[in-house]
Amino acid sequence: MVFPAPAIAFLLLTMLFPVAFTLYMSVQRWEFSALDPPTFIGLRNYADFLFNDARFWPSVARTFAFTLLAVAVETVLGVAIALIFNREFLGKGLIRTIFLFPMVATPVAIALVWATMFDPNLGVLNYFVEELGLPPVLWTSDADWVLPALALVDIWEWTPFITLITLAGLSSLPSEPYEAARIDGASPRQILWDLTLPMLRPTIVVAVLFRAIDALKTFDIIQVITQGGADFSSETLNIYAFQNAFNYYHLGYASAILVFFFMLVMGVSILLLRVRRAAE
Partner 1 sequence: MTTSRSRRLGGAALNRRQVLGGALGATGLILTTGGRSPASPSAAQATFDWKKFDGSRIRLLANAHPWTNSVKPVLAEFQELTGIQVQAEDLPEAQFRQKLTTELSQGTGSVDVMMSAPAQEGLKYDQAGWYEPLDRFVQDPALTAPDYDFADFAPRPIEMQTVNGKLIGIPVQLESTMIIYRKDLFEEKGIAPPATFADLEAAAEALHAPDDRLFAIGLRGKGAAATSQWSSFLYGYGGDWLDPAGAPALASQPAIDAFTYYGNLARNYGPRGVENNSWAENVALFQQGQLGILVDASVFKVNVEDPSASTVAGKVGYAVFPQGPAAHDVAGFTWGLSIPASAKNKEAAWYFVQWATSKAQNLALLQKGVPVARQSTWQDPAYVETSNKEFDQAQQTSIQISKHTSNPPVVSVQEVRDAVGPVIIAAIQGGDVPAAAQQANETVKTIIAQSG
- Neighbouring CB atoms inside 10 A of 200's CB total 21
Among the listed residues 122, 134, 273, 278, the single contact to partner 1 using CB under 8 A: 122
Specify the stretch interacting with partner 1 by CB under 8 A; choose among 91-99, 196-204, 227-235, 259-267: 227-235
Q: Determine if 120 is a binding residue for partner 1 (CB under 8 A).
A: yes
136 lies in the binding site for partner 1 (CB under 8 A) = yes
- Sole binder of partner 1 in the list 1, 2, 5, 35 (CB under 8 A): 35
Choice between 33 and 172, CB closer to partner 1: 33
Interaction between residue 261 and partner 1 (CB under 8 A): no
C-beta of 101 vs 248, nearer to partner 1: 248
Residue of the chain from 80, 99, 117, 119 that contacts partner 1 (CB under 8 A): 119
User: Residue 246 and residue 201: Cα distance in Å, rounded?
Assistant: 42
The CA distances from residue 115 to 51, 121, 237, in Å, are 34, 12, 21
Residue 32 makes contact with partner 1 by CB under 8 A: yes
Stretch that binds partner 1, among 62-70, 98-106, 120-128, 263-271 (CB under 8 A): 120-128
Angle, in degrees to the nearest 10, between helices 197-216 and 146-171? 140
Is residue 8 at the binding interface for partner 1, with CB under 8 A as the rule?
A: no
Based on the shown chain and the rule CB under 8 A, indicate whether residue 230 belongs to the binding site for partner 1: yes
C-beta separation of 113 from 225 below 8 A: no
Among 63, 141, 218, 255, binds partner 1 (CB under 8 A): 141
Element (H, E) at 161: helix 146-171
Provide the 10 A C-beta neighbour count for residue 85: 18
> Distance between CA 201 and CA 166 in Å, rounded?
9
Give the CA count within 13 Å in the CB-facing half-sphere of 19. Answer: 11
Chain-centroid distance of CA 83 in Å reads 23
Instruction: Note the residues at the interface with partner 1 (CB under 8 A).
Output: 31-36, 54, 119-122, 136, 138-142, 226-227, 229-232, 243, 246-251
